Amino acid sequence: MGLAFMHNKPKNLSADERRAVTVEAIIELAAEQNPGDITTAAIAKRMNLTQGALFRHFPSKDAIWQAAMEWVAERLLIRIDKAIMQAAESPLIALEAVFMTHIEFVVAHPGVPRMLFGELQRSEDTPAKRMVRTLLAGYGERLTMLIEAGKAQGELALEVETAAAATLFIGTIQGLVMQSLLAGQPQRMHTHAPGAFAIYRRGIERTR
């Protein structure tokens, strides 16, 4: 279901289709403005709906944001799991595949990191914020598995601290994302990602 679909008024959609179209509208808006300033009126306008029609599918704005975070978590982790499976013969290659997959996801959906950062900065513990924490926990578990497997198979240095390596992995991606957002050029991540991962790799790889 492409973003262009939202330019026409969506009709006769299933609950899952309506959810996906709503999430796409939010992600588009988040790429254009501060996610905290996105109103239900703006979401409805982007979808060519009335607010009343929007609230027939979602009981509140918090429910809309929770659906958005669930969509992000599901799609990103599915892509990560696919990258891991395709590089199953080497944990180190799998780590690189995950790194590049994450970058590709952000380039395709530049509004997503702004939404995630926005939720984590909120003081209240919302369902959407809890979903972001769940996403990060699941992501961290996958990285821990790969790093431990890499040490067991002799690809990574045994002295590498697994938790620190996982944190640095995510932090490197976040750094690339922040720089691209500040520059307003998400595509620049394609240019800098390989070099950034190469530096990360040298820090954890076992020397022969």
pLDDT for position 206: 93
Mean pLDDT of 110-128: 84
Here the tokens at position 39 are 């109103």
Most confident of 34-38, 84-88, 142-146, 183-187: 142-146
**Does any domain span residue 111?**
yes
C-alpha distances (whole Å) from 204 to each of 50, 89, 200, 201 are: 53, 18, 7, 5
Residue (of 207, 139, 202, 145) closest to 174 by Cα position = 139
Confidence class for position 1, pLDDT limits 50, 70, 90: very low
16 vs 125: which has the higher pLDDT: 125
- Where helices occur in the chain by DSSP H, the ranges are 15-32, 40-46, 51-55, 61-86, 91-108, 111-121, 127-152, 162-183, 188-204
The set of residues, in sequence order, having a beta carbon less than 8 Å from that of 183 and lying 6+ positions away, is none
Average pLDDT score over the chain = 88
Looking up residue 169, the CATH number of its domain turns out to be 1.10.357.10
pLDDT for position 180: 87
pLDDT for residue 197 is more than 60: yes
Q: How far apart are CA 43 and CA 103, in angstroms?
A: 26
pLDDT for position 4: 39
**Does any domain span residue 11?**
no
Total count of domains within the chain? 1
**Does any domain span residue 87?**
yes
pLDDT for position 2: 42
pTM, two decimal places: 0.86
Can you give the residue range of the structural domain that contains 69? 61-204
